[in-house]
């Protein structure tokens, strides 16, 4: 935040919808807030979910535009693709967006939602060497071997012996 800002105690709306007139009147704005996770319940695919979200925003005013630099930090509860265990992972992303000074409202929540959606991993692993679940009995192989005989998992196993 700027040292010479008289607006550091600006009451940040939880829905992140800022009045353009307020930002123009103040000549810019630096602010941060902890947000309710209710605005982000559907950002990640189930069972993954966001558990903490905080934003820091810096609004800079130009003649016809307002530049918004933001950062989003928090935590998410996410499921491993191999062993299916849930674990908490931190995230941090930044964004830059411009808005016209003619807009009545600057809606930052949609940009934050888009930024968060980009943080979701296509395939998350709880650790790089996760062994996953036994395909026969379903035991978590990270806890030790299960005793099942290794099955032939070749997709061509059903064709064995058919073409002689």
What is the Cα–Cα distance from 116 to 93, expressed in whole angstroms?
8
Residues 61 and 32 in one domain: yes
What is the Cα–Cα distance from 44 to 78, expressed in whole angstroms?
9
Report pLDDT digits (tens) over 54-97. Answer: 999 999 999 899 999 999 999 999 999 999 999 999 999 999 99
What is the Cα–Cα distance from 95 to 106, expressed in whole angstroms?
15
Residues 143 and 164 in one domain: yes
Residues 89 and 143 in one domain: no
Range of the domain at 142: 133-164
The token duo for 140 is: 């978590």
pLDDT at 37 over 70: yes
What is the count of structural domains for the chain? 2
Domain membership flag for residue 91: yes
Domain membership flag for residue 22: yes
Kindly compute the dihedral angle of the four CA atoms of residues 132, 138, 141, 142, in this order, to the nearest 10 degrees: 70
pLDDT of residue 3: 40
Report pLDDT digits (tens) over 126-161. Answer: 999 999 998 888 899 999 988 887 666 677 776 777
Q: How confident is the model at residue 4 (pLDDT cuts 50, 70, 90)?
A: very low
Domain membership flag for residue 96: yes
Residues 43 and 117 in one domain: yes
Residues 54 and 29 in one domain: yes
């Amino acid at each position: 935040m700027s040292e010479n800002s008289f607006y550091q105690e600006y009451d940040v709306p939880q829905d992140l919808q800022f009045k353009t007139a307020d930002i123009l009147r103040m000549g810019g704005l630096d602010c941060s807030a902890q947000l309710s996770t209710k605005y982000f319940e559907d950002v990640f695919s189930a069972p993954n979910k966001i558990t903490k979200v905080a934003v820091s925003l810096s609004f800079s005013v130009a003649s016809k535009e307002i530049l918004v630099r933001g950062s989003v930090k928090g935590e998410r509860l996410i499921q491993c693709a191999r062993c299916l265990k849930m674990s908490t992972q931190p995230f941090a992303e930044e964004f830059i967006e411009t808005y016209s000074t003619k807009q009545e409202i600057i809606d930052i929540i949609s940009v934050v939602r888009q930024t968060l959606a980009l943080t979701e991993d296509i395939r998350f692993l709880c650790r790089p060497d996760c062994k996953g679940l036994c395909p026969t009995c379903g035991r978590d192989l990270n806890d030790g071997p299960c005793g099942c005989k290794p099955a032939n998992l070749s997709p061509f196993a059903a064709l064995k012996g058919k073409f002689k």
